[in-house]
Amino acid sequence: MVAPSLRPDAFFALCRKVGAPQAEIRNDLAGNAIVDGTPAAEIGSQARDAGVSLISINALQRFNEWTPALEAEAVELADYAQTAGAAALVLVPVNDGSGRADGERQRNIRTALRALKPILRDRGVLGLVEPLGFAACSLRSKQEAADAVADIDGTGTFKLVHDTFHHHLAGEPAVFPELTGLVHISGVADRNLPIDGMRDAHRGLVDEDDRLDNIGQIRALLSAGYAGPLSFEPFSPAVHALEYPARALADSIAFIRARL
């Protein structure tokens, strides 16, 4: 998402240029892998040639609204991840205001995780559950996600995504370093935005103007034992329009490292 217009080989080259040996690939970028039909083996080969390992495919959408069609999509994405050498598949919940009722949302996530467990386990792919902080989301709480993983005996198959933007929006103070498999980072700089007005388009790179306390969140996770990857996820059109994103990425990486 840092450079959605780049073809995969150019994107992997960008990763190496800024010193990032790991990357996520996405299935929601028109005209790009995975949407354009590029074979998984080719994507895996391009990544390996660049010296980049694949963290995940991002993402299986509406994962907690389990249907036969979603099952077929999950199998297709898990197969793609396995063949490409991606370690995980990100699981994004329903985010349209439905499925939020108490009891319903807990039941739905358990139904989905139970169904996903053999699909992912048989392919050696980790499922990364990503709660979203938006008020309309059917899974806002990492605690609820952690409880569901424990209830279906899914600790070896599922972990959580800690997204610094969504953590800030949800207002849930707890972090789960032992269950976290990936941290998504992005910054919001606009001082005039209320928290409930923050949207994906406001998410840029992390710098000194960040309102989300990315540094504090990352520090808390690291001090509690988290040792996994941090992955930029800026949806801002201003970031996507950068002609030379390497400089901006390198500056943000340097800013974060200096303060950790």
pLDDT tens digits, 21-34: 999 999 998 877 78
Q: What stretch of H or E contains 55?
A: strand 53-61
Unique residue bearing structure tokens 């540094």: 215
Whether the per-residue pLDDT at 109 is higher than 80: the answer is yes
pLDDT confidence tier of residue 37, bands split at 50, 70 and 90: confident
pLDDT confidence tier of residue 42, bands split at 50, 70 and 90: very high
The pLDDT score that the predictor gives to residue 108 is: 98
Half-sphere exposure in the Cβ direction for 244 (13 Å, CA): 4
Q: How far apart are CA 77 and CA 152, in angstroms?
A: 22
Q: How far apart are CA 196 and CA 209, in angstroms?
A: 19
Rounded average pLDDT over 170-193: 97
- DSSP lists the bridge partners of residue 26 as 58
- DSSP lists the bridge partners of residue 160 as 129, 180
Average per-residue pLDDT in the chain? 97
The pLDDT score that the predictor gives to residue 254 is: 98
